Amino acid sequence: MKLGIILASLSLTSAVQACSVYQHCHCYNSDGVPNDTATAAVCKEFGELRDKTDGDRTYKECYFYKFNFFGSQGIGNCQMRKSCQIRGATGDDSSCRKKITIW
């Protein structure tokens, strides 16, 4: 009984921590290649599309960050993942960087 409660608590904790907010995100396909088309489609709703180069690969990523009296705003990675998949990206997740703290 106690083990079940502990496992359920750990599961809930990881689920709560799984979604965060970032400044930069992009979509990718199941082969690990960034999906520029899906990223551009998602980004046009709220952000600025930018070029990002890692090694010899250049791809598109979405940038969104605002700070004001009410706190910080950015891109939620869980919503980004869903939006990427809706727009045709075949990867299991989106890729995000520069995590921000929301008040």
Single pTM value for the model? 0.78
Distance (Å, rounded) from C-alpha 39 to C-alpha 59? 9
The pLDDT of residue 46 is: 86
Distance (Å, rounded) from C-alpha 17 to C-alpha 58? 30
Residues in the chain: 103
The pLDDT of residue 5 is: 36
* pLDDT tens across the length of the chain (103 residues): 433 333 333 333 344 457 999 999 999 999 999 999 999 999 998 899 999 999 999 999 999 999 888 888 999 999 999 999 999 999 999 999 999 987 5
Domains of the chain (ranges; CATH) run 19-100 (3.30.70)
The pLDDT of residue 18 is: 79
CB 23 within 8 A of CB 74: yes
